[in-house]
Amino acid sequence: MGRRAADRASDGQDADTANEPEGGLAHALGLTVASAAVWGVAHVFAGRRVVGFLLMGVFVVLVGGAVIVVLDFPGTLKHIAVQRDWLAGITVGILVLALIWATVVIRSYQVVRPRGSAGVARVLAGGLVVVLAVGVCAPLVWAARDTYTLRDTIGTIFHGDVARPRTVDVADPWKDRPRVNILLLGGDGAGDRTGVRTDSMTVASIDTRTGDTVLFSLPRNLQHFPMVARLRSRWPDGFTGVGGPGDVGLLNELYQDAENDPSLVPGFGKGRRGPELLREEISYLIGQPIDYYVLVNLFGFSDIVDAMGGVRVHIAQDIPFGGPEDGSAPTGVLKSGDRMLDGKQALWFGRSRTASSDFVRMGRQKCLMKAIAQQADPQKILMSFQQLASAAKKTISTNIPAALLPALVTLSGTMKHGAQVTSLMFVPPQFHVVRPDIEVMRRVTAKAITASEDQQTTSAAPSTPADASPSAGASASPSASASATSSASASPSVSDSPSDSASAGLEQSTTKAVSLTAACG
């Protein structure tokens, strides 16, 4: 009886030994690492094949599905990346995946660890497994954090217009809308400045089918221009300012005037009144509806450029900056040639008027906008995403609703692949900056849009005037030719509006927009 019991005990010990994984702690740790890379390896080795192959199958489905989505549905991914509901779900999904992955790593070690190891060795091995689990989770947690940050950034910037909400047809946002016009504003707000002056004002008129774009730039010193009908009783002879210190009635004063006086834009809150009045007034001047605006604080703009890794531009001639405006003692110089600029240098490139003029600066700003749009590198943006998101939230404001972002993402992709971008600037000598003739501005704007659409229809190359010559003093700009589309004999007026005959001649000589590719080098 006792002998039989001993035999049975011996048989049980042999069976247990047969089911134990072979090898020491090093072998177990190796299998755990392998299971961290491919789920189920440790389970299969330990004889738990059903669980092991099930884990492998789930892992293959997850990895294969991710690869297929990335390679075959990049457009869908871009749309998802700008939709807050999707981003919330993806954030939760990534965190759940991190938890599951860490569990798989720890459980894999448990099924293959040898029994009877020394206490110190087991503790050390367990610590290494925890480190491995954390290492596996870290990239996923980092991805979840960036996904949440993107969602928060979209919600902060793109919350639409509460005072003038617009319904977006998500299924077909461009239905019956052949063009979308967006007002791009560059403001100079900073901690040591009072108020904001919009020194850069450009309307981007975009063909929603082709992405072809015409940029209409208005000078900051446009003066005594006629106001929209509802404010004409206040300024019957054109805008002359609100009587504040330093007011002379310039276009770039409108923003802060509206911010200070709620009666100018009833129903809009602070931070929205300025852009809304500019949107309304510029729409009136050029005779085109403006759908949305984007305001960029130029002093925060340098942080965005740095987060992108810099921007490469062509500089035709040295650009001095800082010091007296006559350029007699600049604090620095941007040398001519193809240059990679950091944020501070890009800001000087777009803002310097030293030994130059407002109109030359406007041309450089268009080239800078084009360079940034073309050179935005997704990999660099991803690596500096937190910095970029933080800078964007402090720097950018807009009334574009988040629901329109998927359509704008698609449109921007179209613009990057062969769309023609032309530029027309309402600057001397072709246009009067004091008491501008808005009928001329409207006709020239309409003709530039028609020319852009006709160019796409006929597949013709962008036309540039053969006899283009920049205005006096504009030769220092690499894009000076963008402000001079022909050799116009009309000179800018400094006091009176142009006569009918002058307007006619002026209009005939300024009906073409210039390709930015040609203008920017």
pLDDT of residue 419: 84
Give the pLDDT confidence score for residue 9 in this predicted structure: 46
Q: Are 396 and 475 in contact (CB under 8 A)?
A: no
In this structure, of 87-96, 157-166, 251-260, 376-385, the range with the lowest mean pLDDT score is 376-385
Structural domains of the chain, ranges and CATH numbers in brackets:
22-157 (no CATH), 179-520 (3.40.630.190)
- Taking Cα atoms as reference points, which of 492, 519, 488 lies closest to residue 505? 488
Please say if the pLDDT value at position 62 is more than 80: yes
Token pair belonging to 244: 């504040």
| Rounded (to 5) percent helix, strand, coil in the chain | 55, 10, 35
Cβ atoms of 452 and 212 within 8 Å: the answer is: yes
Q: Is the pLDDT of residue 63 over 50?
A: yes
- Coil vs helix vs strand at 289: coil
Residue-wise pLDDT for 22-37, tens only, equals 568 889 999 999 999 9
The span from the CA of 79 to the CA of 77, in Å, is 5
Q: CA–CA separation, 293 vs 397, rounded Å? A: 8
CA torsion through residues 320, 368, 426, 223, sign: negative
DSSP state of 213: E
C-alpha–C-alpha distance, residues 40 and 48, integer Å: 9
**CA neighbours closer than 13 Å in the CB half-sphere of residue 180:** 18
Token pair in block for residue 5? 């019991």
Q: Quick check: 39 pLDDT over 60?
A: yes
| DSSP bridge pairs for 218 | 201
pLDDT at residue 11, rounded to an integer: 44
pLDDT digits (tens, 9 = 90+) for 458-487: 654 444 433 333 333 333 333 333 333 333
Phi-psi region of 249 (alpha: psi -120 to 50; beta: other; left: phi over 0): left
Written as one letter, the residue type at 373 is: A
Question: Burial level of 425, CB count in 10 A (0-12/13-18/19+)?
Answer: buried
Q: What is the DSSP string of 349-372?
A: HHH--TTS-HHHHHHHHHHHHHHH
**Three-state secondary structure readout of 40-89:** CHHHHHCCCHHHHHHHHHHHHHHHHHHHHHHHHCHHHHHHHCCCHHHHHH
CA distances from 383 to 86, 88, 142, 155, 307 (A): 22, 21, 11, 21, 9
**pTM summary value:** 0.77
Structure confidence by residue, pLDDT tens digits, 8-27: 444 444 444 444 455 688 89
The rounded distance, in Å, linking the Cα atoms of 52 and 65 is 20
